[in-house]
Structure 1
Amino acid sequence: MSGSIPTSTSVSESAVIEAPFSDVWHLIKLQDFSKFWSRLEKSEFVKGASEETDIVKWSFKDGTVLEVKQEEHSSIDHFITYSVISSQPAASYSSVVSTIRAYPVTSGSHAGHTFITWSGNFSSDADANAIQDAKFKRSEALADLAKAASKK
């Protein structure tokens, strides 16, 4: 036995953001994440990528640089799916595919606000530390998104 801790290779964080759906949804563009996520120094399209492929470079304040590829986007169902295609320094796992979904809350005490989920499905070589880190970062980013959306 290797001594590694068995862990789920998926993570999902969610939040109710006290802002109108349109104010939240319009912030969820890979190239605009630095407008709300406090960990990011900048987020910008990668020059030279093919016209059919949206690749965005996320430069984090800690020096980490990720290139993320938009895999799917729906303005009808309000979700975006992306994968990490490169990481400097190298990630401790082979791959991750993440999806952010936004839903308008239409009734109840949160009517007029937005429910959002941010999930990630990691390759089987992701360890408990990678999953916990992803959970923490998503939770923090959703709090940052709530702050940015409520300023509109």
Structure 2
Amino acid sequence: MPSGIPTSTSVSESAVIEAHLSDVWHLIKLQDFAKFWSKLKTSEWVKGTSPETDIVKWTFKDGTVLDVKQEEHSTIEHYITYSVISSHPAVTYSSVMSTVRCFPVTSGKHEGHTYVTWTGNFSSDADAGVIEDAKFKRREALADLAQAVYKK
């Protein structure tokens, strides 16, 4: 009998950032996440990888190190998709694929602002604690992104 609590293996957080799409989008590069995400100490390209493989090392202030691989990037559709390919310390799940997507708000009271979503789709072995942690990390990161844009 399974001991875990059944849970969704996906998370989706969003925010309206009171800035133009171009001001937000230019920060959405894996190697630049440390420029806005307060939990990150550094985000830098991994040297020695092939030119076809975009891998960035995220070092968090708590000492966690993730190697993230850019899976997709569209400057036309304004999104980036990445996966975690290694973690130290090791994560408790097999995989996660995340997407940050930006949309211009074109009408209404938020016209001229940017709607940002940050989703994560985890493997089926991710438990409720992993999903909750991902939810709160994305909320904090979106708030940090807004603050970074406002400081410009």
TM bucket, shorter chain: over 0.9
CA offset at residue 2 of structure 1? 2.0
Residue 94 (1) aligns with residue 94 (2): yes
| Matched residue, 2:32 | 32
* Unpaired stretches in structure 2, ≥5 consecutive residues: none
Q: Which amino acid aligns with 1:90?
A: A
Gap runs ≥5 in structure 1: none
For this pair of structures, how many residues does the alignment match?
152
Q: Residue 123 of structure 1 corresponds to which residue in structure 2?
A: 123
* Shift, 1:150, TM fit: 1.3
Aligned Cα root-mean-square deviation (Å): 0.5
Query: How does the TM-score come out when normalised to structure 1?
Result: 0.99
Q: Identity across aligned pairs (percent)?
A: 76
- Letter paired with 1:116: V
Alpha-carbon separation, structure 2, partners of 1:91 and 1:46: 20
2:137 aligns with 137
Aligned partner of 1:5 in structure 2 is 5
The corresponding residue for 2:77 is: 77
What amino acid does structure 2 have at the position aligned with 1:14?
Answer: S
The offset of 1:20, in angstroms, is 1.1
Q: Deviations over 1:67-103 (max 9, x none)?
A: 0000000001010000000000000100000000000
Structure 2 length-normalised TM: 0.99
State the shift of 1:151 in Å: 1.5
Give 1:57's aligned residue. 57
Measured in 1, the distance between the counterparts of 2:145 and 2:5 equals 32
